[in-house]
Structure 1
Amino acid sequence: MTAAGRARRIKGAVAARPRLWLAVTMGFPIVYYLVMFIALVARFQAWPNYAVTYDWLGNVAEIIRATPSLSDIGAIIAQEWLFEVGRMNYDFGNGISEWSLNINPAKVLVVCLLGGLVATLITLMAARRVACSAGRWTGASAAGGLGAALVAMTNVTLAWVVCCATPSWVVGLAILGLGVSSSLWLEQFGWWIEYAGFLLLLTSLYVLSGDAKAATHTNETPYPKSAMGAPQ
């Protein structure tokens, strides 16, 4: 099947369930950050006691003005925060942030893109449930789910003082119980894991949007039969 045909099939699946697609696309980022917040509160058994809003637009303008290398501007802007909420320990002078959740617009865009892909996958799964074989449907759905989990994992923006208080996706692994040193070691593979996740998602869309393999039949030469059914 051609790429244009697959694209039409995906577009048709979304058009058949526009409300479902929109609900998943819009709701995914909200649920994503809400789950991270709940996970922090549940893990540390404490409510946040501070929240800070940053002048993201002003900071971006200053970065563009003050950065001499154009190739560095994007990478620096991608690290800028818009909002931070967390728990401050005031036992040490002006206080130190024990843990926090940070809203990074660059990461939010990735999460929104992920939400759109997940919504597209869900609508396509619903549309192709009957047309695809059970193995093909289940395999593609599982691959898409794994891909979504990998992308979601690598865009976590949590900070924990035990992990040097640097917001990173591996902080989520440390909070879940993985050793701090092991978590920090995994950080170098973040981009590769994220790319693998997107690749799995796109592959699942490709597989589900294709035609099911037609059953093959061997051409057999018919033999005339007698009235009793035995070959003559």
Structure 2
Amino acid sequence: MRIGVVTFPGTLDDRDALRAVRLAGAEGVALWHGDDDLQDVDAVILPGGFSYGDYLRAGAISRFAPVMEKVVDAAHGGMPVLGICNGFQILCESHLLPGSMIKNAHRAFICRDQPLRVENNRTAWTTAYDADQVIRIPLKNQDGQFVADQRTLEELEAEGRVVFRYAEGATHGPEGFETNPNGSRHDIAGITNAYGNVVGLMPHPEHAVEAGFGPDEPGRATRTGVDGLGFFTSVMRSLVA
């Protein structure tokens, strides 16, 4: 299986995402923002960072990159697409996902190990998890507050399109934001489109794919630090289903 990872000017986590893909057993394919084709990949990841310096708004310029025209078309055709952090922002700007990302409510950059509750384990990127399972993966952002109008929020809830919520148990955080680190509406950490092939989330699963290098969860004696690997094994499973 070939999973493409797009690099934009200012991307930070493309190599981490490529490594996560390889650890899951797929072939990672590096894609460039100026590419006009997707090199026959089976799925695409838009990784984290500060694409184009986050000028205008986070992800606002990236949506016009040549490669994004191909990503949008492929997503509409059913290809699995995952947006992580800045990638989530790009998905919103590209209208593949609803809502928008604005600056954190406490107006500060945050970096911590973040518990997430799996609300929807039926997407192309989440079948390796159990419903209501709590996983712990790193979170790092300054424009991570998910917002949407009330009608959109109600639709996301009614259609089961909230994929992850921020859960209790964070090790530290700004006062008043111990559970919800950035003020996101409905504690939303990640969402999906109506078909379940496009998923965006703010935390970083690619930083939790190797034991000893990802977050250790208190009380768990085995397989700590690998809670993010399920994203990448899930998409491989969905591609052969």
Q: Same fold (TM over 0.5)?
A: no
Report which of the two structures shows the higher radius of gyration computed on alpha carbons: 1
Higher strand proportion (structure 1 or 2)? 2
Q: TM-score band, normalised by the shorter chain?
A: under 0.3
- Normalized against structure 2, the TM-score is what? 0.24
Normalised TM-score (structure 1): 0.24
